[in-house]
């Protein structure tokens, strides 16, 4: 049973058109959770709570509050069997049926004290559980940016399409295109849409079909410490500078990716090295954002191939990541392979 679009254009309904009814319920729950987190962050303390999560990260009061907002929304919706968060990295029973959701409730905790934009990340999996499954099995992904506006970006199956990115993703060799033809749109399996949270608490569709152009001279260089013993990364940074690329790096993964989608391309690059290991968690960060990026016609890479070709071995699995415009990602591959 598919959800039909509502008559109003000022709602989340365009993101639900053609979806399985339970998946539509999950997307609504994610949107409700994001609205709750946005409200919570206006007053939540950014002080450390005095504890660490199971992955060893120090927790802020805001982290715990955001985590609770998301778990409550997923449990209430009735369409989620298991959920797992970066704050609670285990399979938590939700009591529903249909899907499992992995999420980072507050990505960017290290910069929230400076009142910079932060975000939330969500990956939606069919059925039950995460470990032992390929990232490409995700059926939807989303992120939220909490900045001057609260923005929700959703990657979901296109009407009548399947649940993977086959036919939708650009390739890292630069063969992707920024503007889809009508035939390409018809063949796509996923669509990426942006919504803005209104003062009323509802959502307004702001961009119905986000596509990432194949190239743009914008770079976000994460984990710069890796330059010390990753010569290919050092060469890449020098290339960006000599070619007069524009630096757009906030220290927050979600706002940095959103800049690429909102401003027409670029690249976020997070290689590793022997002395600067991977910090990004696959389940909660790299897998969902790779799905979303490839669904928008961009590319992802972990040094071995598309991030979506990875299989999850554990909740704490970590990895290198480059995402963005296909041609810009291709230029990063030597640094990624040297990770």
Please give the Cα distance from 261 to 143 (Å, whole number): 12
Tokens of 234: 């050092």
Domain ranges of the chain: 13-207, 218-337
Please give the Cα distance from 157 to 138 (Å, whole number): 10
Query: Which CA distances in Å does 180 have to 188, 207, 260?
Result: 9, 15, 17
Tokens of 308: 């979506």
Question: Whole-model pTM?
Answer: 0.89
pLDDT of 276-287, one tens digit each? 999 999 999 999
Closest CA relative to residue 206, chosen from 288, 260, 149: 149
The CATH number that domain 13-207 falls under is 3.30.540.10
The CATH number that domain 218-337 falls under is 3.40.190.80
Please give the Cα distance from 23 to 13 (Å, whole number): 12
pLDDT of 113-170, one tens digit each? 899 999 999 999 999 999 999 999 999 999 999 999 999 999 999 974 433 444 334 4
Closest CA relative to residue 315, chosen from 35, 58, 90: 90
């Amino acid at each position: 049973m598919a959800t039909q679009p509502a008559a109003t254009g000022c709602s989340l309904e365009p993101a639900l058109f053609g979806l399985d009814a339970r998946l539509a319920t999950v997307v609504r729950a994610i949107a409700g959770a994001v609205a709750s987190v946005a409200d919570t962050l206006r007053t939540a303390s950014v002080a450390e709570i005095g504890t660490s999560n199971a992955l060893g990260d120090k927790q802020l009061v805001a982290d715990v509050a955001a985590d609770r907002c998301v778990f409550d929304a997923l449990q209430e919706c009735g369409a989620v069997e298991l959920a797992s968060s970066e704050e609670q990295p285990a399979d938590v029973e939700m009591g529903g049926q249909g899907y499992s959701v992995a999420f980072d409730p507050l990505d960017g905790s290290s910069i929230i004290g400076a009142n910079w934009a932060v975000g939330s990340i969500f990956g939606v999996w069919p059925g039950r559980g995460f470990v032992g499954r390929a990232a490409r099995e995700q059926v939807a992904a989303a992120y939220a940016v909490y900045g001057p506006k609260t923005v929700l970006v959703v990657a979901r199956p296109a009407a009548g399409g399947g649940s993977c990115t086959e036919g939708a993703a650009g390739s890292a060799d630069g063969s992707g295109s920024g503007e889809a033809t009508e035939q390409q749109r018809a063949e796509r399996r996923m669509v990426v849409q942006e919504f803005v949270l209104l003062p009323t608490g509802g959502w307004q569709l702001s961009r119905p079909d986000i596509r990432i152009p194949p190239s743009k001279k914008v770079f976000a260089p994460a984990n710069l410490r890796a330059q010390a013993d990753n010569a290919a990364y050092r060469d890449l940074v020098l290339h960006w500078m000599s070619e007069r690329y524009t630096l757009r790096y906030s220290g927050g993964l979600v706002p940095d990716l959103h800049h690429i989608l909102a401003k027409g391309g670029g690249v976020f690059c997070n290689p590793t090295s022997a002395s600067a290991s991977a910090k990004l968690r696959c389940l909660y960060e790299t897998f969902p954002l790779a799905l979303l990026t490839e669904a928008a016609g961009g590319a992802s890479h972990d040094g071995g191939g598309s991030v979506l070709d990875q299989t999850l071995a554990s909740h704490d699995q970590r990895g290198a990541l480059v995402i963005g415009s296909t041609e810009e990602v291709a230029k990063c591959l030597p640094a990624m392979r040297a990770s």
